[in-house]
Structure 1
Amino acid sequence: MPKVSNVAKRAGSQARKTSAGRTGTSHARDAEATQKRILAAAKKEFAMNGLAGARVDIIAEKAEANKRMIYHYFGGKEALFERVLEDAYADICRAEQSLKLDHLDPKAALETLVRFTWQYYLDNPEFLTLVNNENLQKAVHLHGSKVLPVISRNRLDMVESLLARGEKAGIFRPGIDAMQLNITIAAVGYYYITNRFTGSIIFDCDFMASGMLRKRLAFNIDTIVRTVCK
């Protein structure tokens, strides 16, 4: 048999390494894609049926995966729900950061944040449903979260910075609590939307009609501006 040169051996070895590297990269991409599909399917399933009513086999089917993959990647339904919650909070935090409020006049920045929060709730009803469900569970899935404290700190830092700029400019009242303001901005939009069905009956009007939504947003902005501005 002809001898194989050292050059040929090195070339063959390198080719095998390259092939293995490509295979490893492909597997990593497949795993990442599978996890994303599972999380997307889980978000919809949890939002629709809550933690108790959600079924892992339905999540697997919608994600084009199997139950074994869910347990492999996330450890089970409870852990998957925790991850979905963390991702939901991270998503709204990233969206808030993208507003770049520091580049706006303090009053305009405040109005932008109120308007954004309202629209985010309208565009992402799953977020409200997931939060409601976790409150029914007494937030047991978020107690040990290492992600949520970081997210919360980033959100508070953003509001504290906005308040400090407005106070320095002589526009905002001094001593406003950033956490309380954050809660109030969320509450004036959150309550209206989550109670839209009962509210529509009680007040005999369609809470989700375009005219009503515009009136509510204007009221929200006016409420927060009056609370914060001098």
Structure 2
Amino acid sequence: MGEIRNAERTRKAILQAAKEEFFERGYSGARIESIAKRAGVNKQLIYHYYNGKDDLINQTIDEFVSSVPIGNFTLPANPVDIADFRWKVNMDHLREFLKFTAWEAVEELPQNSNGEEARRRVLQSYNADMKSKQEMGLVPNELDPAFITLMMSSLTIYPLLYPNVTKMITGYTVDDQEFQEKWSRFLRQISERIFQKEDVK
């Protein structure tokens, strides 16, 4: 029993070290040797638990996604509230992970090496939620649910990924409380103009 507990502790230590390495350096920049050093284990032990870098990144992201409280992926009933909700979740809980995803724009990644399946499940659930709200008459029929999800992802992620551009455009840093409050209000104002106004119980 002690050996099982030790193995589980080692596995978790490796995943935590891998998360730090991947999130800081991206997929291509991450090194198994650096992950081993962060975890305090030898390189061979990583290969005992994981089948190389691709397996490690997928399991790292699966573990990360499953560790985020489910409430952070459960969208509000009123579509007007969704953009602001996603902005706050991204800012408070997913910021480092989102920086990792930015590496995808500049790196050539092996297929299915970035936790794609776990991420697709979350994003497709947003599409399904928006389609359901559309069927309830809360979202205009002429709007494509997938494009709404893409729009909300853009609005709620861009300031976090490009803080320098955000400051050049607005004069605020993304960590400025006044910016965060103003951006939340703006997201709500935009949402009120997009979605049909219905009372949501």
Q: How many residues align?
A: 195
Q: Which runs of 5+ in 2 are unaligned?
A: none
Within the candidate set 109, 113, 119, 2:88 is matched to: 119
Q: Does residue 82 of the first structure (1) align with residue 53 of the second (2)?
A: no
One-letter amino acid of the structure 1 residue matched with residue 3 of structure 2: H
1:176 aligns with 2:146: no
Q: Which residue of 2 aligns with 1:187?
A: 154
| Residue 163 in structure 1 maps to residue 134 in structure 2 | yes
Q: Are 2:23 and 1:47 aligned?
A: yes
CA contact (8 A) 1:38 1:70 kept: yes
Q: Which one has the largest radius of gyration?
A: 1
Mark the CA change 1:68 to 1:153 in structure 2 (over 3 Å): closer, same or farther: same
User: Of 111, 118, 140, which residue of structure 1 is paired with 2:110?
Assistant: 140
What do you get for the CA RMSD once the two structures are aligned? 2.8
**Deviation digits for residues 182-218 of structure 1, max 9, x if unmatched?**
1111111111221112331354433321001110111
1:53 to 1:146, Cα distance in 2 relative to 1, 3 A: closer
TM-score of the pair, normalised by structure 1? 0.71
Alpha-carbon displacement from aligned partner over 1:34-67 (angstroms, at most 9, x marks no partner): 2222112211111112222222222223223322
Residue of structure 2 in register with 1:14 after alignment = none
CA–CA separation in structure 2 for the residues paired with 1:175 and 1:57: 52
**Structure 1 runs of 4+ off > 6 angstroms?**
none
- Where does the alignment leave 5 or more consecutive residues of structure 1 unmatched? 1-22
Structure-2 change in CA distance of 1:202 and 1:78 (3 Å) = same
- 8 Å CA contact retained: 1:185, 1:224: no
**Residue deviations 1:57-79, cap 9 Å, x none?**
22223223322222122222233
Distance in 2 between residues matched to 1:174 and 1:75, nearest whole Å: 46
2:189 counterpart of 1:222: yes
**More moved, 76-85 vs 181-190:** 76-85
What per-residue deviation string (whole Å, max 9, x for no partner) do you get for residues 156-194 of structure 1?
A: 2223223323x1xxx432243221111111111111221
Q: What is the rounded CA distance, in whole Å, between the counterparts of 1:56 and 1:112 in structure 2?
A: 42
Would the alpha carbon gap of residues 207 and 127 (structure 1) be closer, same or farther in structure 2, given more than 3 Å must change?
A: same
Instruction: Choose which of 58, 63, 67 in structure 1 pairs with 2:43.
Output: 67
